[in-house]
A and B are shown apart, each in its own frame.
Chain A
Amino acid sequence: MGGVSLFQDDFRLIHQSLEKLQQRTQANAILLIDRAGQLITSVGKTDKLDITSFASLSAADFAATKQLAALIGEEEFSDLFHEGERENIYVSMVDSKVILVVLFDKRSTLGLVRVRATQISKEISEIFQNIYKKLEEGGPTTTSIVDAEFTREAEEEIDNLFK
Protein backbone atom coordinates (compact mmCIF):
# COMPACT_ATOMS: atom_id res chain seq x y z
CA MET A 1 0.00 0.00 0.00
CA GLY A 2 2.65 2.54 1.12
CA GLY A 3 2.07 6.11 2.08
CA VAL A 4 3.25 9.51 1.00
CA SER A 5 5.95 11.05 3.11
CA LEU A 6 6.72 14.71 2.97
CA PHE A 7 10.06 15.97 4.13
CA GLN A 8 11.24 19.29 5.44
CA ASP A 9 12.84 20.65 2.25
CA ASP A 10 9.99 19.61 -0.01
CA PHE A 11 7.50 21.06 2.42
CA ARG A 12 9.33 24.40 2.48
CA LEU A 13 9.29 24.56 -1.32
CA ILE A 14 5.58 23.73 -1.46
CA HIS A 15 4.88 26.36 1.15
CA GLN A 16 6.85 28.97 -0.76
CA SER A 17 4.89 28.23 -3.93
CA LEU A 18 1.58 28.53 -2.12
CA GLU A 19 2.63 31.80 -0.49
CA LYS A 20 3.64 33.16 -3.87
CA LEU A 21 0.22 32.21 -5.25
CA GLN A 22 -1.50 33.88 -2.33
CA GLN A 23 0.44 37.13 -2.84
CA ARG A 24 -0.19 37.16 -6.59
CA THR A 25 -3.91 36.53 -6.29
CA GLN A 26 -4.72 38.25 -2.98
CA ALA A 27 -6.45 35.03 -2.00
CA ASN A 28 -7.66 34.66 1.58
CA ALA A 29 -6.36 31.14 1.94
CA ILE A 30 -4.89 28.32 -0.12
CA LEU A 31 -4.98 24.65 0.75
CA LEU A 32 -3.19 21.68 -0.72
CA ILE A 33 -5.03 18.39 -0.17
CA ASP A 34 -4.38 14.82 -1.22
CA ARG A 35 -7.03 12.93 -3.17
CA ALA A 36 -8.06 10.96 -0.10
CA GLY A 37 -9.11 14.21 1.58
CA GLN A 38 -6.17 14.80 3.90
CA LEU A 39 -4.70 18.25 4.23
CA ILE A 40 -1.07 18.50 3.13
CA THR A 41 -0.58 22.15 4.01
CA SER A 42 -2.24 25.54 3.90
CA VAL A 43 -1.37 29.23 3.82
CA GLY A 44 -3.40 32.32 4.61
CA LYS A 45 -6.31 32.90 6.95
CA THR A 46 -7.46 29.46 8.03
CA ASP A 47 -7.97 30.06 11.76
CA LYS A 48 -11.76 30.32 11.43
CA LEU A 49 -11.97 27.46 8.95
CA ASP A 50 -12.51 23.83 9.94
CA ILE A 51 -9.76 22.77 7.56
CA THR A 52 -10.00 19.06 8.28
CA SER A 53 -13.64 19.01 7.22
CA PHE A 54 -12.90 21.39 4.39
CA ALA A 55 -10.17 19.10 3.04
CA SER A 56 -12.37 16.02 3.24
CA LEU A 57 -15.30 17.69 1.48
CA SER A 58 -13.10 19.26 -1.22
CA ALA A 59 -11.63 15.89 -2.13
CA ALA A 60 -15.11 14.34 -2.17
CA ASP A 61 -16.36 17.23 -4.31
CA PHE A 62 -13.57 16.67 -6.79
CA ALA A 63 -14.03 12.90 -6.84
CA ALA A 64 -17.79 13.22 -7.41
CA THR A 65 -17.25 15.73 -10.20
CA LYS A 66 -14.75 13.42 -11.85
CA GLN A 67 -17.44 10.74 -12.00
CA LEU A 68 -19.87 13.25 -13.47
CA ALA A 69 -17.28 14.01 -16.13
CA ALA A 70 -16.91 10.33 -16.92
CA LEU A 71 -20.67 10.04 -17.45
CA ILE A 72 -20.49 12.51 -20.31
CA GLY A 73 -17.32 11.04 -21.76
CA GLU A 74 -14.81 13.50 -20.26
CA GLU A 75 -11.82 12.19 -18.34
CA GLU A 76 -12.23 14.83 -15.66
CA PHE A 77 -13.03 18.48 -15.17
CA SER A 78 -9.63 19.86 -14.36
CA ASP A 79 -10.97 22.69 -12.26
CA LEU A 80 -14.09 23.63 -10.32
CA PHE A 81 -15.47 26.96 -9.24
CA HIS A 82 -17.99 27.68 -6.51
CA GLU A 83 -19.28 31.23 -6.36
CA GLY A 84 -20.62 32.64 -3.12
CA GLU A 85 -21.94 36.05 -2.11
CA ARG A 86 -18.77 37.00 -0.28
CA GLU A 87 -16.28 34.24 -0.88
CA ASN A 88 -15.48 31.92 -3.75
CA ILE A 89 -13.68 28.62 -4.04
CA TYR A 90 -11.50 27.58 -6.93
CA VAL A 91 -10.43 23.93 -6.95
CA SER A 92 -7.86 22.50 -9.33
CA MET A 93 -6.05 19.18 -9.73
CA VAL A 94 -2.25 19.20 -9.67
CA ASP A 95 -0.53 16.32 -11.42
CA SER A 96 -3.48 13.98 -10.78
CA LYS A 97 -2.20 13.48 -7.23
CA VAL A 98 -3.08 16.53 -5.17
CA ILE A 99 -5.83 19.12 -5.10
CA LEU A 100 -5.18 22.84 -4.91
CA VAL A 101 -7.95 24.92 -3.33
CA VAL A 102 -7.98 28.74 -3.46
CA LEU A 103 -10.41 30.72 -1.32
CA PHE A 104 -10.81 34.28 -2.55
CA ASP A 105 -13.18 37.22 -2.36
CA LYS A 106 -13.91 40.32 -4.45
CA ARG A 107 -10.34 41.55 -4.10
CA SER A 108 -9.46 38.99 -6.75
CA THR A 109 -11.05 37.50 -9.85
CA LEU A 110 -11.60 34.00 -11.15
CA GLY A 111 -9.51 34.73 -14.25
CA LEU A 112 -6.52 35.88 -12.23
CA VAL A 113 -6.80 32.98 -9.79
CA ARG A 114 -7.02 30.49 -12.64
CA VAL A 115 -3.99 31.86 -14.52
CA ARG A 116 -1.81 32.11 -11.42
CA ALA A 117 -2.92 28.74 -10.09
CA THR A 118 -2.01 27.08 -13.38
CA GLN A 119 1.49 28.56 -13.16
CA ILE A 120 2.01 27.48 -9.57
CA SER A 121 0.57 24.03 -10.28
CA LYS A 122 3.53 23.36 -12.56
CA GLU A 123 5.96 24.24 -9.75
CA ILE A 124 4.14 22.06 -7.24
CA SER A 125 3.94 19.23 -9.74
CA GLU A 126 7.73 19.32 -10.14
CA ILE A 127 8.22 19.24 -6.37
CA PHE A 128 6.01 16.17 -6.12
CA GLN A 129 7.81 14.47 -9.02
CA ASN A 130 11.01 14.97 -7.02
CA ILE A 131 9.45 13.51 -3.90
CA TYR A 132 8.36 10.39 -5.77
CA LYS A 133 11.79 10.10 -7.36
CA LYS A 134 13.46 10.32 -3.96
CA LEU A 135 11.15 7.67 -2.56
CA GLU A 136 11.86 5.38 -5.49
CA GLU A 137 15.57 5.86 -4.93
CA GLY A 138 15.12 4.66 -1.38
CA GLY A 139 14.97 7.95 0.48
CA PRO A 140 13.81 8.16 4.08
CA THR A 141 10.91 5.82 4.70
CA THR A 142 8.18 5.75 7.27
CA THR A 143 10.20 3.29 9.33
CA SER A 144 12.51 6.11 10.35
CA ILE A 145 9.79 7.40 12.67
CA VAL A 146 7.22 4.64 12.85
CA ASP A 147 9.10 1.94 14.73
CA ALA A 148 8.14 -0.57 17.41
CA GLU A 149 8.33 2.05 20.16
CA PHE A 150 6.09 4.38 18.18
CA THR A 151 3.53 1.61 17.70
CA ARG A 152 3.59 0.74 21.40
CA GLU A 153 3.02 4.35 22.45
CA ALA A 154 0.31 4.81 19.83
CA GLU A 155 -1.50 1.69 21.01
CA GLU A 156 -1.46 3.01 24.57
CA GLU A 157 -3.01 6.25 23.35
CA ILE A 158 -5.64 4.30 21.44
CA ASP A 159 -6.48 2.24 24.54
CA ASN A 160 -6.86 5.44 26.56
CA LEU A 161 -8.99 7.14 23.94
CA PHE A 162 -11.44 4.28 23.40
CA LYS A 163 -12.03 3.23 27.00
Chain B
Amino acid sequence: MSLINYASREINCKIVYYGPGLCGKTTNIKYVFSKVAPETRGKLISLATELDRTLFFDFLPLNIGTIKGFKVRFHLYTVPGQVYYNASRRLILKGMDGLVFVADSQTDRFEDNIESLKNLEQNLVSHDMKMDGFPFIFQYNKRDLPSISPVEELESVLNQKGAPFFEAVASQGIGVFDTLKEASKLVLRLLTTT
Protein backbone atom coordinates (compact mmCIF):
# COMPACT_ATOMS: atom_id res chain seq x y z
CA MET B 1 0.00 0.00 0.00
CA SER B 2 1.65 3.17 -1.17
CA LEU B 3 1.91 5.96 1.38
CA ILE B 4 1.41 9.43 -0.03
CA ASN B 5 2.28 12.09 2.50
CA TYR B 6 1.05 15.45 1.27
CA ALA B 7 2.52 17.25 4.24
CA SER B 8 6.09 16.02 3.97
CA ARG B 9 5.57 15.65 0.20
CA GLU B 10 6.71 12.06 -0.07
CA ILE B 11 5.47 9.00 -1.93
CA ASN B 12 6.70 5.64 -0.72
CA CYS B 13 6.10 2.37 -2.55
CA LYS B 14 7.02 -1.19 -1.62
CA ILE B 15 8.31 -3.80 -4.08
CA VAL B 16 8.83 -7.38 -2.91
CA TYR B 17 11.12 -9.99 -4.49
CA TYR B 18 9.62 -13.46 -4.07
CA GLY B 19 10.73 -16.91 -5.19
CA PRO B 20 12.18 -20.25 -4.07
CA GLY B 21 15.29 -20.59 -1.92
CA LEU B 22 18.59 -19.71 -3.63
CA CYS B 23 16.87 -18.34 -6.75
CA GLY B 24 18.75 -15.03 -6.50
CA LYS B 25 16.43 -12.56 -4.75
CA THR B 26 19.15 -11.23 -2.47
CA THR B 27 21.61 -11.22 -5.38
CA ASN B 28 19.24 -8.91 -7.27
CA ILE B 29 18.97 -6.45 -4.44
CA LYS B 30 22.71 -6.54 -3.71
CA TYR B 31 23.46 -5.76 -7.34
CA VAL B 32 21.09 -2.79 -7.24
CA PHE B 33 22.79 -1.57 -4.08
CA SER B 34 26.23 -1.86 -5.65
CA LYS B 35 25.36 -0.10 -8.90
CA VAL B 36 23.04 2.81 -8.13
CA ALA B 37 24.52 6.17 -7.21
CA PRO B 38 25.29 6.18 -3.46
CA GLU B 39 23.24 9.34 -2.86
CA THR B 40 20.10 7.63 -4.16
CA ARG B 41 20.22 4.61 -1.91
CA GLY B 42 19.79 3.98 1.80
CA LYS B 43 21.42 1.30 3.86
CA LEU B 44 21.07 -2.32 2.73
CA ILE B 45 19.75 -4.30 5.64
CA SER B 46 20.02 -8.09 5.59
CA LEU B 47 18.50 -10.18 8.31
CA ALA B 48 20.35 -13.35 7.42
CA THR B 49 21.57 -16.52 9.10
CA GLU B 50 25.26 -17.17 9.78
CA LEU B 51 25.38 -19.00 6.46
CA ASP B 52 24.12 -15.89 4.65
CA ARG B 53 20.68 -17.30 3.95
CA THR B 54 17.87 -14.79 4.34
CA LEU B 55 16.18 -15.31 7.70
CA PHE B 56 13.59 -12.56 7.65
CA PHE B 57 14.19 -10.10 4.80
CA ASP B 58 16.64 -7.85 2.97
CA PHE B 59 15.66 -4.22 2.71
CA LEU B 60 16.92 -1.48 0.43
CA PRO B 61 15.38 2.00 0.23
CA LEU B 62 15.90 3.87 -3.05
CA ASN B 63 15.23 7.53 -3.74
CA ILE B 64 13.93 7.85 -7.25
CA GLY B 65 14.02 11.65 -7.17
CA THR B 66 11.77 14.63 -6.64
CA ILE B 67 8.87 14.73 -9.06
CA LYS B 68 6.42 17.63 -9.09
CA GLY B 69 7.67 18.53 -5.64
CA PHE B 70 7.20 15.04 -4.21
CA LYS B 71 10.08 12.83 -3.11
CA VAL B 72 9.46 9.38 -4.59
CA ARG B 73 10.97 6.41 -2.79
CA PHE B 74 10.89 2.71 -3.46
CA HIS B 75 11.45 0.24 -0.68
CA LEU B 76 12.77 -3.06 -1.98
CA TYR B 77 12.27 -6.17 0.13
CA THR B 78 13.19 -9.80 -0.39
CA VAL B 79 11.48 -12.67 1.39
CA PRO B 80 13.31 -15.72 2.75
CA GLY B 81 12.97 -18.46 0.14
CA GLN B 82 13.37 -21.52 2.31
CA VAL B 83 10.11 -23.40 2.76
CA TYR B 84 10.08 -23.35 6.55
CA TYR B 85 10.26 -19.55 6.81
CA ASN B 86 6.74 -19.08 5.55
CA ALA B 87 5.56 -17.06 8.55
CA SER B 88 8.24 -14.46 7.81
CA ARG B 89 7.45 -14.52 4.11
CA ARG B 90 3.80 -13.79 4.72
CA LEU B 91 4.64 -10.77 6.88
CA ILE B 92 6.77 -9.11 4.22
CA LEU B 93 3.88 -9.10 1.74
CA LYS B 94 1.95 -6.69 3.94
CA GLY B 95 1.47 -3.36 2.23
CA MET B 96 3.16 -4.47 -0.98
CA ASP B 97 2.64 -2.39 -4.14
CA GLY B 98 4.38 -4.62 -6.66
CA LEU B 99 6.03 -8.04 -6.82
CA VAL B 100 8.96 -9.53 -8.69
CA PHE B 101 8.87 -13.32 -8.84
CA VAL B 102 12.41 -14.58 -9.31
CA ALA B 103 12.32 -18.07 -10.79
CA ASP B 104 15.36 -20.35 -10.85
CA SER B 105 15.77 -21.50 -14.48
CA GLN B 106 17.61 -24.72 -13.62
CA THR B 107 15.65 -27.82 -14.61
CA ASP B 108 16.08 -29.46 -11.21
CA ARG B 109 14.49 -26.39 -9.56
CA PHE B 110 11.43 -26.36 -11.82
CA GLU B 111 9.10 -27.82 -9.19
CA ASP B 112 10.43 -25.45 -6.54
CA ASN B 113 9.31 -22.50 -8.66
CA ILE B 114 5.81 -23.92 -8.97
CA GLU B 115 5.66 -24.61 -5.26
CA SER B 116 6.82 -21.09 -4.43
CA LEU B 117 4.22 -19.57 -6.73
CA LYS B 118 1.49 -21.63 -5.07
CA ASN B 119 2.79 -20.54 -1.71
CA LEU B 120 2.63 -16.90 -2.82
CA GLU B 121 -0.99 -17.34 -3.82
CA GLN B 122 -1.84 -18.78 -0.41
CA ASN B 123 0.00 -16.04 1.43
CA LEU B 124 -1.75 -13.33 -0.57
CA VAL B 125 -5.09 -14.69 0.56
CA SER B 126 -4.13 -13.95 4.15
CA HIS B 127 -3.76 -10.28 3.16
CA ASP B 128 -7.00 -10.31 1.15
CA MET B 129 -5.01 -9.89 -2.05
CA LYS B 130 -5.24 -11.67 -5.38
CA MET B 131 -2.53 -12.50 -7.89
CA ASP B 132 -3.90 -10.10 -10.49
CA GLY B 133 -4.51 -7.25 -8.07
CA PHE B 134 -1.06 -5.63 -8.28
CA PRO B 135 1.89 -5.20 -10.67
CA PHE B 136 3.61 -8.56 -11.13
CA ILE B 137 6.87 -9.25 -12.98
CA PHE B 138 8.64 -12.53 -13.64
CA GLN B 139 12.39 -12.82 -13.76
CA TYR B 140 13.87 -16.06 -15.10
CA ASN B 141 17.24 -16.08 -13.41
CA LYS B 142 20.46 -18.07 -13.86
CA ARG B 143 20.20 -18.15 -17.67
CA ASP B 144 23.98 -18.70 -17.83
CA LEU B 145 23.88 -22.14 -16.23
CA PRO B 146 24.07 -25.34 -18.32
CA SER B 147 20.92 -27.27 -17.34
CA ILE B 148 18.12 -24.78 -17.68
CA SER B 149 14.52 -24.96 -18.83
CA PRO B 150 13.63 -23.08 -22.02
CA VAL B 151 11.93 -19.74 -21.34
CA GLU B 152 8.84 -20.96 -23.25
CA GLU B 153 8.44 -23.82 -20.80
CA LEU B 154 8.83 -21.57 -17.76
CA GLU B 155 6.39 -19.10 -19.30
CA SER B 156 3.72 -21.68 -20.04
CA VAL B 157 3.79 -23.18 -16.57
CA LEU B 158 4.50 -20.19 -14.32
CA ASN B 159 3.29 -17.13 -16.17
CA GLN B 160 -0.18 -18.11 -17.21
CA LYS B 161 -1.53 -14.58 -16.92
CA GLY B 162 1.02 -13.16 -19.32
CA ALA B 163 2.81 -10.84 -16.88
CA PRO B 164 5.95 -9.07 -18.17
CA PHE B 165 9.06 -11.24 -17.86
CA PHE B 166 12.82 -10.82 -18.10
CA GLU B 167 15.68 -13.25 -18.48
CA ALA B 168 18.50 -12.63 -16.04
CA VAL B 169 21.87 -13.57 -14.70
CA ALA B 170 21.59 -11.64 -11.46
CA SER B 171 25.10 -12.59 -10.31
CA GLN B 172 26.43 -10.61 -13.30
CA GLY B 173 23.74 -7.95 -13.12
CA ILE B 174 22.15 -9.03 -16.40
CA GLY B 175 18.43 -8.28 -16.39
CA VAL B 176 18.42 -6.90 -12.83
CA PHE B 177 17.81 -3.25 -13.72
CA ASP B 178 15.39 -4.15 -16.53
CA THR B 179 13.26 -6.09 -14.08
CA LEU B 180 13.26 -3.36 -11.44
CA LYS B 181 12.66 -0.63 -13.98
CA GLU B 182 9.55 -2.37 -15.25
CA ALA B 183 8.29 -3.14 -11.75
CA SER B 184 8.79 0.49 -10.62
CA LYS B 185 7.01 1.88 -13.66
CA LEU B 186 4.06 -0.45 -13.28
CA VAL B 187 3.70 0.50 -9.62
CA LEU B 188 3.74 4.21 -10.43
CA ARG B 189 1.28 3.76 -13.29
CA LEU B 190 -1.09 2.01 -10.92
CA LEU B 191 -0.94 5.04 -8.60
CA THR B 192 -2.39 7.20 -11.34
CA THR B 193 -5.37 4.94 -11.67
CA THR B 194 -6.22 4.63 -7.96
Contacts and interface: CB of A to CB of B under 8 A. Distances in A.
A4 B42 contact: no
Contact of B43 (A7, A50, A141, A151): A50
B6 A5 contact: yes
B194 A3 contact: yes
A57 B97 contact: no
Contact of A11 (B7, B11, B47): B7
B90 to A, nearest CB: 8
Given A7-B7, A40-B3, A154-B67, A161 B14 contact: no
Interface string A121-163: 0000000000000000000111101111111011101111111
Interface in A30-75: 34-41, 50, 52-53, 56-57, 60, 63-64, 67
A162 B33 CA distance: 11
Nearest to A68: B87
A4 B134 CA distance: 16
A154 B37 CA distance: 17
A151 B4 CA distance: 15
Contacts of B7: 6-8, 10-12, 41
A84 interface: no
Interface stretch (B18-26, B108-116, B164-172, B177-185): B177-185
B191 interface: yes
- Chain B interface secondary structure, helix, strand, loop or mixed? mixed
B143 interface: no
A157 B3 contact: no
Interface size class of A (residues with CB under 8 A): 35 or more
A40 B14 CA distance: 14
A150 B180 contact: no
Interface size class of B (residues with CB under 8 A): 35 or more
B113 to A, nearest CB: 25
B40 interface: yes
B1 A1 contact: yes
Nearest to B129: A1
A64 B80 CA distance: 14
Contact of B6 (A2, A7, A38): A7
B88 interface: yes
Contacts of A6: 3-7
10 contacts: A3-B3, A11-B8, A38-B12, A38-B95, A41-B5, A57-B45, A154-B188, A157-B64, A159-B181, A160-B65
Closest 8 CB pairs of A and B: A36-B95, A11-B7, A3-B2, A162-B177, A157-B65, A63-B91, A38-B12, A146-B191
